[in-house]
Each structure stands twice: as C-alpha cells, then as structure tokens.
Amino acid sequence: MANPQPHVVMLPFPAQGHIKPMLMLAEVLCHAGFRISFVNTDHIHNIIVENIDKSPLSQFPGFRFLSIPDGLPPEHPRDSSSIKDLFTSINSTGKIMFRDLIISLLRRDDLEREEIWHAPCCIIADGIMSTLAIDVEEELEMPVITFRTYSATCTWVYFHLEKLIEQKEIPVREGDEDIDRLVTCITELEKVLRRRDLPSICRCEVDPSILKFFLEQTSKMRRASGLILNTFEDLEAPIIRQLHSIYSKVYTIGPLQALLKSQMDDSPVAGAATGSLRQEDRTCIAWLDKQPAKSVIYVSFGSVVVMSPDQILEFWHGLINSGKPFLWVIRPDLVFGNGPNGLPEEIMCPTNERGYVVSWAPQEEVLAHCAVGGFLTHSGWNSTLESITVGVPMICWPLIVDQKVNSRCVSDIWRVGIDMKDSCDRSTVERMVRVLMEDKDEEIAKSTSKFANLAQKSVREGGSSFCNINKLIEDIRSIQSKKDDCKTK
C-alpha cells in the first residue's frame, strides 16, 4: 500500500490578515496533494464556513475546517480596541483546546467525506500562536513550522524587542523630542528605522501586557523547525539573510496571491481562498470601469483598524479637496464606539462621479484595475504586498502592530510610496494625494515598476518563491516519510 499523502494541521491567528495568507498556502498545498486540517477559533469558523462552498478550496476532499474555542463570550467585539482580551484567552483556553485536538488527531484516523484522514505529520502555525503550537511540538513530538504573516523586516524587528528594551529605546512616547532618532541596534536597519517607526506595541500608550505577549510568542517561535514568510527574496534579501541566523530553513514563498495564480494558470482566486470574512461589494468595479486610467486613489484601512469620527472627517475633506476620484472602503465597524452613527450621510453613501464608498471591496481586483493610480493604506502586510505586486504606489497611514515598520520600508527602503504616519489632518491628506497622483515622482514610478516585475518573476518557474514552495513541499513529504518509517520499525 502506498504511503499516505502528508496531513498538515494549520493554525492561523484569528484575524483576517493572518487567515488570508494561511488559506492561500493551504490551497497551494492542496494542489500538491496534501491533506489540510485548518483550525480556526469557533468564532471565525462560524463566519467563514458560510462561504467555503463558493471557494476553490471546496474542490479538495483533502481540505477541512476544524475549530477550537477562543474563550471569549459570543458578544465580544474581537477588534483592535479589545485585542488584549483575545491574546489572554488564546494563551489559556486556546492552548488547552489545541493540545486536546492534536491528541485526538494522533490517536485515530478520521473518516470524512468518505476519505481516510491519517494522523498529521506536522503543524504550520502562525508566529503569534507559538505558545499553543511549540508546547505541543515538545510534548507530542509534532514538528512545527512557523508562518510569520508579517514582512521579513518586521519579523526581524520583533526578534530585537528584548534588545530594544535593554537599550531603553522603548517604550516610545508620542511627542518625545527624540522620536525621530535612528534606532541603531538592529542589524541592516541602523540607517533607516526611527523610534517613530517601531511597532505600535512599543508605544507608551499601548498596554504593556501586549508587549509582553509578543515577547513570549517571539521567544517560543525561535524553537520552530523552520520559518515561512509571505515575501520574496528580491524585496527583502538582506533581512532574509539575517533571519537565517535564527532558522536554518527560511521559506520565502510570496507574494502568495501571485504564486497561487501562477499555479492555477492565472485563473482568478476567489471565495474563501482570499481569506475575506466580509461580503464584498462588487459594484465598485463597474464604477472603476468608467474612470480614466490611473486616475483613482483607492482608500482602505483594512479589516481591524478602528478610527474616530474626527479622523474619518479629516480624510473625507482631504480626499474631496484633492479633486481626485476615490474609492473608499468604510466598514460598518470602522468607527470607534457605536459604529458610523453621527457621520455625515454623504460619507456613508456613494457620492458623485468623483467618489464611491463601499463597505468592503475585492481588493486584489481593485488594485489591479487600470483606473487605480494610488493606494491610501493602513500598511498592513497583505495590502502592502498586494500593492507592490501590481505596481501601485502607496500613501501609508499606519496605526497598529507591524504597520509602522511596513510604512517606513515603503517610503525609505523600497521607495514605492510615501509615509504619512502620525498625521491625518485634511491639508496633509490633500497634499499627499496630490503628490502621489499628480507629481508622479520618477523614483517611485521606477521602483514600483521594478518590484512588480520582480514579484511576478519570483513565482514563475525558476524564481525564488517558486523554488522555495517546492522545497517546503519536499521537506514536509520528508517529515511524513520519517513518520512512516518509524511506524514500520
């Protein structure tokens, strides 16, 4: 009897920006014939399974969703304003439940969809789920490969959190006289990264228990057998080389959306494989079809960030005053507190020919549209990489976790956009939009075109990401083979 195909358990952090790249990797592995048990929290599971039948993943009998409780009550908002609660509950309830789930998978073969599910051979776990996965690895001898869904650069910064504390670089207080002082204790970033650009968890305003959570996760993460990153060699080569000082195996397999498309003969990726937990409003595509080429500024602050009504109004007036057509994603839960109540009606409805507002957009399709000439973004890593991949320059307004690092890379390392962190008054917004859309900075134009070409090259046959995903697949098969050998002895 032939040896079974590898069965991999995948464990994302329960947020869209983390689930999205995990699901894309799951689909790539399914194409390789792997079986995937994708473990969400119960809360996320209840949201995402409604759309799975519309997803490319539904075609794979070797893919299934499993779930564990996150320990929070159903009515908990689970947004960025209450993220501490989720971190705490994941470390307690989630840890116990995940261990019990893995034990149950190891003890028996499952019969599902008339298919045999053999015991898993390894776990691919989000880097900030390391306290769940690494303890299971050490107790049950289940190999763990960590998938850090941030950039290589931000991952490298997180590995220096203890050193930043030792050298009193953090915590950083808004308004400090030396907030723009360069941080010189992080190799390769000595001449680029300022204290202002450090992750938001390094700010005085953030609960110190959140910094402690990330310190614990990063420490545990070092013990994984390998590191997966959704990036590509030509974008972050110097930092990737540094990460090899921690991991003997670093798999840079991005941009995952381009890698997946290349393996599917450029057919569109849709449904749950995009990781979207929200209903997309596709009417915006028809609106974009009517706009001139490169004329529209696309505005989206991601799936987690919350803003005050005053901040939204400043952006609104800045966009209107810029005179540029804009497509703006305003989620129902974007406004801090009681939702969009109190915002002017014109913001919550499609405006005139110059502006269009939706609650959620098919972002990859929007960014690839010929009418889009710029992206005003929160600088989440998925959004940043999607924009780089299609050559759309960015205006960065970062707020939380890795976003501040990403925005600095965009403006001062890769030169594919401009950084607007820590400011959002209407005059600044108007000026930045005009600079990006009118001035057409030659260096930014050249860099966006260069990195878009390199991103596409990386996922084609012979490219770095193409080779690395094959190496990852081979290494997981090797883990499975060793497991099978042990069974026969």
Per-residue model confidence as pLDDT tens digits over 349-384? 545 568 899 999 999 999 999 999 999 999 999 999
Q: Is the pLDDT of residue 385 over 80?
A: yes
Nearest to 87 by CA among 49, 132, 46: 132
How confident is the model over 302-316, as a mean pLDDT? 88
The residue written with tokens 């290494």 in the block is: 475
Instruction: Give the number of other Cβ atoms within 10 Å of residue 413's Cβ.
Output: 18
The pLDDT, as a whole number, for residue 262 is: 87
The reply to whether 18 belongs to the active site is: yes
Which pLDDT value is given to residue 272? 39
pLDDT at 269 over 50: no
Residue 482: pLDDT band by 50, 70, 90 thresholds?
confident
Confidence of residue 342 (pLDDT cuts 50, 70, 90): low
Question: What local confidence, expressed as pLDDT, does residue 223 receive?
Answer: 95
For 430-468, write each residue's pLDDT tens digit: 999 999 998 778 899 999 999 999 999 999 999 999 999
Question: For residue range 171-194, what is the model confidence (pLDDT) as tens digits?
Answer: 998 888 899 999 999 999 999 999
Q: 265-288: string of b/e by CB count within 10 Å (b at 16+)?
A: eeeebbbbbbbbbbebbeebbebb
Two tokens at 424?
Answer: 């959002």
Active-site hit among 7, 43, 70, 126? 126
**64's tokens:** 């299934």
Question: From CA 242, how far away is CA 340, in angstroms rounded?
Answer: 44
Torsion 444-450-452-458 (CA) sign:
negative
- Inter-residue contact 136 to 102 (CB < 8 Å): yes
Average pLDDT, the chain: 89
29-57 confidence digits (pLDDT tens)? 999 999 999 999 999 998 887 765 556 67
Range in 35-39, 202-206, 217-221 the model is least confident about: 202-206
Mean pLDDT across 454-483: 96
Split at pLDDT 50, 70, 90, the class of 297 is: very high
Residue with tokens 């290589």: 152
Our CA angle for 303, 381, 89, nearest 5°, is 55
pLDDT score at 90: 85
Residues belonging to the chain: 489
Domains of the chain: 7-273+459-488 (3.40.50.2000), 283-454 (3.40.50.2000)
Instruction: Considering the candidates 7, 18, 118, 160, report the single residue annotated as catalytic.
Output: 18
pLDDT in tens, 55-99: 667 778 899 999 999 888 888 877 666 788 888 888 888 889 999
DSSP collapsed to 3 states, the chain: CCCCCCEEEEECCCCHHHHHHHHHHHHHHHHCCCEEEEEEEHHHHHHHHHHHHHCHHHHCCCEEEEEECCCCCCCCCCCHHHHHHHHHHHHHHHHHHHHHHHHHHHHCCEEECCEEECCCCEEEEEHHHHHHHHHHHHHHCCCEEEEECCCHHHHHHHCCHHHHHHCCCCCECCCCCCCCCECCCCCCCCCCCEHHHCCHHHECCCCHHHHHHHHHHHHHHCCCCEEEECCCHHHHHHHHHHHCCCCCCEEECCCHHHHHHHHCCCCCCCHHHHCCCCCCCCHHHHHHHCCCCCCEEEEECCCCCCECHHHHHHHHHHHHHHCCCEEEECCCCCECCCCCCCCCHHHHCCCCCCEEEECCCCHHHHHCCCCEEEEEECCCHHHHHHHHHHCCCEEECCCCCCHHHHHHHHHHHCCCEEECCCCCCHHHHHHHHHHHHHHCCHHHHHHHHHHHHHHHHHHCCCCHHHHHHHHHHHHHHHHHHHHHHHHHC
